[in-house]
Amino acid sequence: MTTGSHQEPIPLLDLKAQYATLREEIAAAIERVVASQQFILGPEVEAFEQEVAAYSQCTYGIGVSSGTDALLVALMAIDLQPGDEIITTPYTFFATAGSIARLGGHPVFVDIDPITYNIDPAGIEAAITSRTRAIMPVHLFGQMADMEPIMGLAEYHGLYVIEDAAQAIGAEYRGRRAGSIGHMGCFSFFPSKNLGGFGDGGMVTTNDPKLAERIRLLRGHGAHPKYYHRIIGGNFRLDALQAAVLRVKLTYLDEWTAARQQNAERYRQLFSAAGANIGLPEDAGYGRHIYNQFVIRSERRDDLMAHLKAHQIGCEIYYPVPIHLQECFSRLGYEVGNFPASEDAAEETLAIPVYPELGEERQARIVDTIHTWI
Amino acid residing at 20? A
The correct pick among 93, 198, 256, 329 for binding ligand PLP (CB under 6 A) is 93
Catalytic residues: 193
95 or 100, CB closer to ligand PLP? 95
Phi, psi of 212 (to 5 degrees): -60, -45
In the list 121, 182, 197, 202, the residue contacting ligand PLP (rule: CB under 6 A) is 202
Q: Which amino acid is at 251?
A: T
Minimal CB distance residue for ligand PLP: 67
- How far apart, in whole angstroms, are the C-alpha atoms of residue 179 and residue 137? 11
- Candidates 62-70, 277-285, 336-344, 350-358: pick the segment binding ligand PLP (CB under 6 A): 62-70
Looking only at the bridges linking them, the beta strands covering 132-136 and 160-164 are parallel
Element (H, E) at 343: helix 340-348
Q: Which residues of 28-59 are buried (b: 16+ CB within 10 A; e: fewer)?
A: ebbebbeeeeeeebeebbeebbebbbebbbbe
Contact in structure between 169 and 195 (CB atoms under 8 Å): yes
> Which range of residues in 91-99, 205-213, 243-251, 329-337 is near ligand PLP by CB under 6 A?
91-99
Q: Cβ closer to ligand PLP: 96 or 369?
A: 96
92 binds ligand PLP (CB under 6 A): yes
Residue from the set 56, 66, 342, 369 that interacts with ligand PLP by CB under 6 A? 66
* CA angle in degrees (0–180, nearest 5) for 124-163-207: 120
Q: Which of residues 238-257 bind ligand PLP (CB under 6 A)?
A: none
Closest CB to ligand PLP among 244 and 370? 244
166 touching ligand PLP, by CB under 6 A: yes
Residue 235 φ/ψ, nearest 5 degrees: -95, 95
Write down the least CB distance from residue 180 to ligand PLP, Å.
Answer: 17
Structural element, H or E, at residue 69: helix 67-77
How many of the chain's residues bind ligand PLP (CB under 6 A)? 15
DSSP 287: S
344 neighbors 319 (Cβ within 8 angstroms):
no
Choose between 151 and 203: whose C-beta lies nearer to ligand PLP. 203
Q: Which residues 172-201 are close enough to bind ligand PLP by CB under 6 A?
A: 188, 190, 200
**Which of these ranges, 82-90, 92-100, 114-122, 358-366, lies near ligand PLP under the rule CB under 6 A?**
92-100
The yes or no reply on residue 329 touching ligand PLP (CB under 6 A) is no
**144 vs 29: CA distance, rounded Å:** 32
Among 135, 138, 243, 264, binds ligand PLP (CB under 6 A): 138
**Residue 283 and residue 143 in contact, taking contact as beta carbons nearer than 8 Å:** yes
Q: Which residues bind ligand PLP (CB under 6 A)?
A: 66-68, 92-93, 95-96, 138, 164, 166-167, 188, 190, 200, 202
